[in-house]
Amino acid sequence: MAFFESILVTGGAGFIGSNFVRRVFKRHRRCRITILDALTYAGNLENLASLLDDERVTFVKGSITDPQVVRTATQGCEAVFNFAAETHVDRSIAEAGTFIQTDVFGTYTLLRVASEVGVKRFVQISTDEVYGSSHGEDFTEATPLTPGNPYSASKSGGDLMCQAFFNTFETPVVITRSSNNFGPYQHVEKFIPLFITNAIEGKDLPLYGDGLHKRDWIYVEDNCSALELIGMRGVTGDVYNIGAGKSQTNLSVAEKILEILRPARSRIVFIEDRKGHDRAYEMDSSKLHKLGWKTEFAFDEALEKTVAWYKDNEEWWRRVKSGAFRDYYEQHYGDRLRKGKAHDV
Ligand code: NAD
Ligand code: DAU
């Protein structure tokens, strides 16, 4: 089946969105890509660099909560891939208003316009976090939604709105729920880039709680290949889990990062836990495997590639880490790090 001739990618200046745009741009030479992004603190045009000069790519600065902007951006697009969201759990614990605005109301606005315009496909990029914490059993697409923090509650609201639009208006929705992504261009507020860049800088690595929380890390390229496939072949109205299938503790990932960057001067420091911290995410992606998808990247190799990318792109992350991020870091980590306990190796 051929890919779409024109797509709208919201949140395309963020981490996964920009990797997805790059993939589609390379693999589908006839596809025109419109990117709609509000350029919040997490959006960065440097993530799209050379692509923006190409006539197949149009960038629109604006919010998915604004129906007028969304209407203009959606015109002529066959499919919508909705990546735009507030995405950081810690920030949602500090203040959830923008999460509700973008992740729920923004998704609703997009759905409404997409239905009016009559798109062929609406791909909602959601998260395994909507299932809450796993307790020894993998999440399947039938696992009830029990979100545990304001971010995942907002994403759940977006998912439910998608299902309501499918049911009520037959909007051709498909929902994807991915596990934790990592790779190039991920914002330094997130665990893996924060630990890599802190280790390069010789700073402490702030590990929450006992460090034994588990995540099923997937390399961003593997997530993007799944999104491309589900966009083309997913059953309308369905949900698809996307996971690499192997969860591991944060402590083990932190140790691997230090091992790759040896001899790093940094220490792992256990700090006060995140409030409401989900203990584990474990995914069953067998429904997606049946569509013909599999991962290409093993975790350890992909982590090495990711560390190499951050070493090669210091200017990019040093800019992101300067300015407002410095204040965020001091406010969020300052006291906790001062009261933290270094890990004995
Ligand atoms: P990100 O924070 O790196 O990027 C989000 C992008 O959305 C930014 O470019 C930002 O400017 C834009 N944005 C925010 N509010 C907007 C608005 N109102 N209108 C238009 N644009 C807006 O996020 P990411 O990690 O790339 O995540 C992308 C999507 O994937 C999100 O929907 C997220 O919930 C989902 N997801 C992420 C992960 C992960 O591990 N990163 C895993 C599962 C699902
Ligand atoms: O599971 C998918 C989700 O993964 C996405 O929906 C979210 O958008 C994305 O941010 C991510 O959420 P997490 O909360 O799992 O990711 P984060 O990188 O913030 O944290 C990963 C783990 O590392 C988590 O158990 C918390 C821990 N952590 C995180 C940070 C930032 C630390 O121990 N120290 C830290 O400084």
Both 87 and 26 in one domain: the answer is yes
For residue 139, tell me if it sits in a domain: yes
Q: Whose alpha carbon is nearest atom 44 of ligand 1?
A: 127
Ligand 2: centre distance to CA 89 (Å): 7
The answer on 196 and 145 residing in a single domain is: no
Amino acid 170 reads E
Instruction: Please report the pLDDT score of residue 157 as a whole number.
Output: 98
The domain that holds 108 is classified in CATH as 3.40.50.720
Q: Confirm whether 293 is domain-assigned.
A: no
Low-confidence ranges of the chain (pLDDT < 70): 345
Do 202 and 55 fall within a single domain? no
- Nearest ligand to the C-alpha of residue 59? 1
- By most ligand atoms within 8 Å of CB, the mutation choice from 83, 86, 89, 328 for ligand 2 is 89
293 Cβ below 6 A of ligand 2: no
Q: Does ligand 1 lie within 6 Å of residue 11's CB atom? A: yes
Rounded distance from Cα 191 to ligand 2 centre (Å): 6
Same domain, residue pair 18 and 164: yes
| Residue numbers of the domain that contains 309 | 191-214+246-276+299-344
The pLDDT tens digits for 27-62 are 999 999 999 999 999 999 999 998 999 999 999 999
Same domain, 127 and 260: no
Q: Is residue 208 part of a domain?
A: yes
* Cα 265–chain centre separation: 30
Residue 27 covered by a domain: yes
Nearest CA to ligand 1 atom 29: 83
Structure confidence at residue 116 (pLDDT): 97
Q: Which ligand is nearest to the CA of 340?
A: 2
Do 26 and 83 share a structural domain? yes
Is the same domain home to 208 and 91? no
Shared-domain flag, residues 160 and 44: yes
Q: 340 CA to middle of ligand 1, Å?
A: 30
Whether residues 238 and 250 share a domain: the answer is: no
Does 91 map to a domain? yes
pLDDT value for 345 = 63
- Convert the pLDDT of each residue in 82-105 to its tens digit: 999 999 999 999 999 999 999 999
What is the structure's pLDDT at 1?
72
Q: How far is the CA of 332 from the centre of ligand 1 (A)?
A: 21
Q: Would residue 170 count as lying in a domain?
A: yes
Catalogue the active-site residues: 128-129, 151
Number of domains in the chain: 2
* Residue 264: per-residue pLDDT: 82
CATH number, residue 204: 3.90.25.10
At residue 92, the pLDDT reads 98
Decide whether any atom of ligand 1 lies within 6 Å of the 59 Cβ. no
Assigned domain for 290 exists? no
Q: Are residues 238 and 306 in the same domain?
A: no
198 and 264 part of one domain: yes
Q: Judge whether 1 lies within some domain.
A: no
Domain shared by 229 and 311, yes or no: no
